[in-house]
Amino acid sequence: MSELLLEIFSEEIPARMQKQAAADLSRLVGDALKAQGLEAKTLDGFAGPRRLVLSATCLPKAQPDTTEERKGPQVGAPEQAIQGFLRAAGLTHLDQAEKRELPPKGTFYFAVSKKKGRPTADVVKDIIEAALPQLPWPKSMRWADKPTRWVRPLHSIVCVLDGNIVPVSFGGLVAGNTTRGHRFLAPAAITVKDLAGYKAALRKAHVLVDAADRAAVIEAELKKLAAKEGLTVKADPGLLAEVAGLVEWPVPLLGTIDAAFMDVPAEVLTSAMRKHQKYFALNTKGGKLANRFGVVANMIAKDGGKAIVAGNEKVLRARLSDAKFFWDQDKKRTLESRLPKLEERIFQAKLGTMRAKVDRIAALAAYLAHPVGADVDAVRRAALLCKADLSSDMVGEFPDLQGVMGRYYALAHNEPANVADAIADHYSPLGPSDSVPTKPVSIAVSLADKIDSLVGFFAINEKPTGSKDPYALRRAALGVIRIVLENKLRLPLLAAFEFALGGYNGLTPDNAREKIAREVLDFFADRLKAHLRDKGTRHDLVSAVFARGDEDDLVRLMARVDALTAFVTSDDGVNLLAAYRRAGNILRIEEKKDATSYLRGLDAGAAGAEEAEALRVALGHVAGPSDAKRAAEDYVGAMAELAKLRRPVDIFFDKVMVNTDNADHRIGRLILLAHVVKIMDHVADFSKVEA
């Protein structure tokens, strides 16, 4: 078995592109190897600042031999047909073909050719030369006079199979078996034979090939340095992954933030360090931002890194001087004084300005205040100011701080704490791992912001399609779902959607609002299914409840889904569901044939059989209590009432023929089945429940 090692060595690859590039290269080469009968046991991709690496193990020495068959004409066919077959099959004489009997059609000629598998090295060369031009870089470039496109100019290619060079050609280069280590610490050539030796040699040459190894070193060493000073490193997986893509030999160091900047909000300092300098923030044991930061060098310095730290501190001082200036200047103005600037900021061309959006949010948030349990005045005030910080200098420089800075500016001008918190919280949750607002005023403003965007974009038919969602409406819908469910809010969504649509005067006629609101609710149903699927809930049960068309209270809907889940997994539920399907199938066929509905009143004895009468009585006993418990939102109790139908329904189907020759009894029995379906559909549309 053979081992393949491929390295593409280039100028610095952007960190954000490295992981996907390694995955794409593995996919392209792996799929091609498999298609050629050379599937690898393991296939690993690695990426770093200057190299893209692929390793494949346990490859066969050659492709398997194959046999190809070509069916020819029937024995006794015209000579012209036989000669055409021989030419196409590459045969010179008819006796080189086989004769096979294919009853009942007769006997036919077959050309059988055996094809010897090619050596793996030859196949690998073709595969890699085809795969490299197909690598889908987000951005690529050409250099010098070469027609090849790649993310950055190429320096060399390594391609070895069992230590032997595979002469892959790409970008004007031919592959060899030598690479280079760290640009400054070990630039000499290194001969490569296999992955283990390659990794070991590069480690000696101050290069860690695997990004996971680089990230582990950065994380461990920063923790050690911080612990020596009684500090902790603020967790930032995204930054860690990015920095691991910027260095080949990570050397973590600690620098100091000037005391003059420590009165600037911690979020500002952290954002400035992270966004512009790729520095790690450190916290005190109490969780406050410390006046220290972590920087990762790509160099072993003779002075232990003192000059590197000093240089980074100097750069940070300049960066934080700007941030402090913005902070000092922005605090001089109230948020309310910034509202006129929102008239100049377009929310969306068809949906108006950001100031118009603020007014809609304020009206909708006030409408939501009662079901949320929030103070209406506080809600209106928070909604009015929630976007004002967008026109501040700080948010202009650090857009990720929108809302956060609004809270600071609100507190600086004595706005109530719940108003200030709502300004910061109303963007949440920003993702599936982000926490949702829990304070009433924050909840109302956050819901209003998201619902306003959702109904507005649906009103102008700018809905998500496939993988495209330019306005992040899926995220907004999921945010509303999580806020409602995690805070257990009893909020009728349809009414909220229709009220929100009323804020778009002239854009949505009154007679169109219900239709648009229904479309948004259907969109929510899809998002809820996706959300619950990740938590292990069956999507068909959500569909079964939504299909009733009478549910837009997510808390109540989840209670129904939970009760339905327990019911359909019980013995009674499984059997009753099977009976429901049988009843539904019979009804559909007979109602179509008779062109009538059998959901009508049923008199005692009309169905004829004793078992049918017992089912009619059982339906009467179950209907009232089931409806009462459903009305009281006791869905577990309602399901328990339905379970009482299992035995009489089972006996009915065992003993009674529905389509009897007696026309009156047939009608009575079909009416019985219609009532069975109806009473179950009061709780959920059981036709949506999968077997």
Residue 149 and residue 56 share a domain: yes
Q: By 3-state DSSP, what share of the chain in percent is helix, strand and coil, each rounded to 5?
A: 55, 15, 30
Give the type of residue at 237: P
CA distance 689 to 691: 7
The CATH number of the domain where 608 resides is what? 1.10.730.10
Residue 578 and residue 513 share a domain: no
Q: How many alpha carbons fall within 13 Å on the CB side of residue 148?
A: 19
Statement: residue 355 has pLDDT above 90: yes
Residue 219 and residue 192 share a domain: no
**pLDDT single digits (tens) 634-646:** 989 988 988 898 8
| Residues 332-356, mean pLDDT to the nearest whole number | 95
Residue 107 and residue 123 share a domain: no
Q: Is residue 450 part of a domain?
A: yes
Statement: residue 510 has pLDDT above 70: yes
Taking alpha carbons only, the member of 116, 212, 122, 215 closest to residue 161 is 122
Q: What is the mean pLDDT of the chain?
A: 92
Q: Using 50, 70 and 90 to split pLDDT, how confident is the model at 601? A: confident
Q: Is residue 547 part of a domain?
A: no
Q: Which pair of tokens denotes residue 33? A: 């190897």
How much is the pTM? Answer: 0.79
Would you say 382 and 419 are in contact if contact means Cβ atoms under 8 Å apart? yes
Would you say 455 and 516 are in contact if contact means Cβ atoms under 8 Å apart? yes
> Which pLDDT does position 274 carry in this prediction?
92
Residue 573 and residue 517 share a domain: no
**pLDDT single digits (tens) 159-196:** 999 999 999 999 999 999 999 999 999 999 999 999 99
> Which pLDDT does position 472 carry in this prediction?
93
Residue 499 and residue 376 share a domain: yes
The CATH number of the domain where 142 resides is what? 3.30.70
Statement: residue 66 has pLDDT above 80: no
Count of structural domains, the chain: 5
> Which pLDDT does position 691 carry in this prediction?
66
Share of the chain above pLDDT 70, in %: 100
> Which pLDDT does position 235 carry in this prediction?
93
Give the type of residue at 398: F
Residue 141 and residue 10 share a domain: yes
> Which pLDDT does position 121 carry in this prediction?
92
CA distances from 47 to 165, 194, 240, 576, 611 (A): 21, 17, 15, 56, 72
Give the type of residue at 295: V
Taking alpha carbons only, the member of 348, 581, 344, 324 closest to residue 471 is 348
> Which structural domain range is residue 428 located in?
344-525
Q: Is 518 exposed, middle or buried (0-12, 13-18, 19+ CB in 10 A)?
A: middle
> Which pLDDT does position 488 carry in this prediction?
94
Would you say 266 and 286 are in contact if contact means Cβ atoms under 8 Å apart? no
